[in-house]
C-alpha cells in the first residue's frame, strides 16, 4: 500500500522585509504577522483550548445528504449518543464521566451536553434516526446504516472544525525565538497536511455512508449483546493500527486506511456493542476475528478498551469509575485517546473490571436482513 509523503520543511535563510510576505506562508505581510511575534505575550494553552471549543460550537451545518433543500427548524445540538436511552442508562444525577485525552483525567459532564454537535437540522435529526432511536434494536441493515452514518457525520464535523482551528494553533509560537517559531510552524505545516488528508478521507467515507441510507447493501457488522449494567456508551469512527491481540494490521502513514464505526447503543431490548463497516474489508475482518478469538471472560474488557483508546465520544458511569482501584484508573488513563500506540492498548488483561458478556461471541459477522418495507 502506498505511503503518504509529507511535504518538506521550509528553510528560512533570511527574514523578509516589513512589507514583504511573511515567511510562515500565512499570506500576510511580515509586519502584520511574525515581525514582532517574539516580543508578544505567549498564548496560554487554556485560551487556545477555549477558542478551539468555540470554533467547534460555531461550526454548524446539516450533514443530511439532501441538505439544505429539505432542512427546517434550524441547526440544533444533536446527540450522537442518545440522551434518553444510552446516556440516561449510565448517568448519576444527570451526569456522566468523560476522560480527557489531553489531561488523562475524568471530567463530569451533564447528559444534555454530552456527545452533542451542531451537525443536523431539527427536522432531519428528528426524522432520520427514528428507526434507530425509537425501535427495539434488531441489527437490521437500516439500523446499522444509521449508526454508521451518524458516527461518520460527527467525525467529519470534528475534522472540519479542527482544520478551521489551525489558524488559532499557529499563534502559539508567540513569545518564542525566531528559530523556535520556524520549528513550530514546520510542525504545524505537517499537522495541517495530516488534517487535510484526514478530512479528505472522511469526506469520501461520508459519501459512502450517504449511499447506505438509500440502499444499505454494503454494511457489515459484528453485533455483541452486552449486560444491562455495562458502564460505558460511545460512538465514533476509527482506523485502528493494532488488533485485539497486538498484531499490527495497518499503519496510519498509509493511504486508503480501513475505517470502521463503533457504537455502544442502548435500546428497549438491551445494550449492544456494534462494529459496523462498509465491506468487503479484509483488514477490518481480521480485527473482528481477533476479537472473536479472545477468551469469553476478556471480551467485555476488550470492548471497553476499544472505546477508551480510539473514541473521544466515550462516556462512563460515575458509579463504575468511583468503584475502580487506583491501578485500574491509571490503566484507563494510560490508554485513553492513545496518539502513539504501543500495540497493547486493546489487549485485555483483566486490569479493567468490565462486566462479562452474557454469552460468548463466536461469529465473525452478524448482520440481520433489511427490515420489510
- Do 229 and 173 meet the contact criterion of CB atoms below 8 Å apart? no
In this predicted structure, what is the pLDDT of residue 371?
A: 44
49 belongs to a structural domain: yes
First vs last C-alpha separation in the chain = 41
352 belongs to a structural domain: no
In DSSP terms, 263 is beta-bridged to: 235, 274
In this predicted structure, what is the pLDDT of residue 329?
A: 96
330 belongs to a structural domain: no
In our burial notation (b when 16+ CB lie closer than 10 A, e otherwise), range 228-249 reads: eebbbbbbbbbbbbbbbbeeeb
In this predicted structure, what is the pLDDT of residue 362?
A: 46
In DSSP terms, 242 is beta-bridged to: 248
pLDDT values of the chain reduced to their tens digit, one per residue, 373 residues: 445 556 677 888 899 999 999 999 889 999 999 999 999 888 776 777 777 777 766 767 899 999 998 999 999 999 999 999 999 999 999 999 999 888 889 999 999 999 999 999 999 999 999 999 999 999 999 999 999 999 999 999 988 888 877 877 888 899 999 999 999 999 888 888 888 888 888 999 999 999 999 999 999 999 999 999 999 999 999 988 999 999 999 887 766 688 999 999 999 999 999 999 998 899 999 999 999 999 989 999 999 999 999 999 999 999 999 999 999 999 999 999 876 678 899 999 999 999 988 766 644 344 444 443 3
347 belongs to a structural domain: no
Domain containing residue 198:
45-82+116-210
List Cα–Cα distances, 205 to 5, 198, 261, in angstroms: 21, 10, 11
Nearest one of 247, 296, 244 to 275, comparing CA atoms:
244
5 belongs to a structural domain: no
Nearest one of 304, 297, 306, 313 to 357, comparing CA atoms:
297
Q: What's the structural domain count of the chain?
A: 1
175 belongs to a structural domain: yes
176 belongs to a structural domain: yes
Q: Is 241 helix (H, G, I), strand (E, B) or coil?
A: coil
- Name residues whose C-beta falls within 8 Å of residue 369's C-beta, 6 or more positions apart in sequence: 140, 141
In this predicted structure, what is the pLDDT of residue 163?
A: 81
Instruction: Report d(CA 35, CA 145) in Å as an integer.
Output: 52
Amino acid at each position: 500500500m502506498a505511503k503518504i509523503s509529507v511535504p518538506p520543511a521550509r528553510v528560512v535563510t533570511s527574514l523578509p522585509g516589513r512589507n514583504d510576505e511573511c515567511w510562515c506562508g500565512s499570506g500576510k505581510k511580515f509586519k502584520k504577522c511574525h515581525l514582532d511575534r517574539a516580543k508578544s505575550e505567549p498564548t496560554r494553552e487554556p485560551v487556545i483550548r477555549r477558542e478551539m471549543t468555540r470554533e467547534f460550537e460555531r461550526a454548524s451545518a446539516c450533514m443530511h445528504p439532501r441538505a439544505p433543500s429539505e432542512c427546517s427548524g434550524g441547526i440544533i445540538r444533536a446527540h450522537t449518543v442518545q440522551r434518553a436511552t444510552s446516556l440516561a442508562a449510565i448517568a448519576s444525577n444527570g451526569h456522566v464521566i468523560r476522560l480527557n485525552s489531553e489531561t488523562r483525567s475524568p471530567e463530569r459532564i451533564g447528559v444534555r451536553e454530552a456527545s452533542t454537535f451542531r451537525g443536523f437540522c431539527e427536522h432531519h435529526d428528528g426524522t432520520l434516526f427514528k428507526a434507530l432511536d425509537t425501535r427495539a434494536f434488531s441489527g437490521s441493515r437500516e439500523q446499522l446504516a444509521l449508526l454508521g452514518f451518524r458516527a461518520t457525520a460527527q467525525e467529519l464535523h470534528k475534522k472540519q472544525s479542527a482544520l478551521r482551528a489551525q489558524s488559532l494553533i499557529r499563534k502559539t509560537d508567540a513569545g518564542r525565538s525566531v528559530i523556535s517559531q520556524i520549528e513550530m510552524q514546520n510542525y504545524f505545516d505537517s499537522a495541517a497536511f495530516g488534517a487535510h488528508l484526514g478530512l479528505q478521507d472522511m469526506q469520501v467515507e461520508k459519501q459512502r455512508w450517504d449511499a447506505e441510507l438509500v440502499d444499505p447493501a454494503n454494511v457489515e457488522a459484528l453485533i455483541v449483546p452486552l449486560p444491562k449494567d455495562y458502564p460505558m456508551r460511545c460512538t465514533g469512527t476509527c482506523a485502528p493500527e493494532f488488533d485485539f491481540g497486538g498484531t499490527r494490521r495497518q499503519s496510519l502513514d498509509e493511504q486508503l486506511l480501513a475505517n470502521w464505526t463503533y457504537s455502544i447503543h442502548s435500546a428497549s431490548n438491551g445494550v449492544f456493542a456494534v462494529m459496523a463497516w462498509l465491506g468487503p474489508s479484509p483488514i477490518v475482518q481480521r480485527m473482528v476475528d481477533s476479537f472473536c478469538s479472545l477468551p469469553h471472560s476478556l471480551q467485555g474488557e476488550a470492548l471497553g478498551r476499544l472505546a477508551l483508546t480510539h473514541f473521544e465520544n466515550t462516556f462512563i458511569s460515575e458509579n463504575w469509575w468511583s468503584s475502580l482501584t487506583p491501578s485500574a484508573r491509571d490503566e484507563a488513563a494510560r490508554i485513553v485517546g492513545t496518539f502513539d500506540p504501543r500495540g497493547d492498548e486493546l489487549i485485555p488483561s483483566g486490569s479493567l473490571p468490565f462486566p462479562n458478556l452474557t454469552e460468548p461471541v463466536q461469529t465473525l459477522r452478524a448482520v440481520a436482513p433489511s427490515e420489510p418495507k
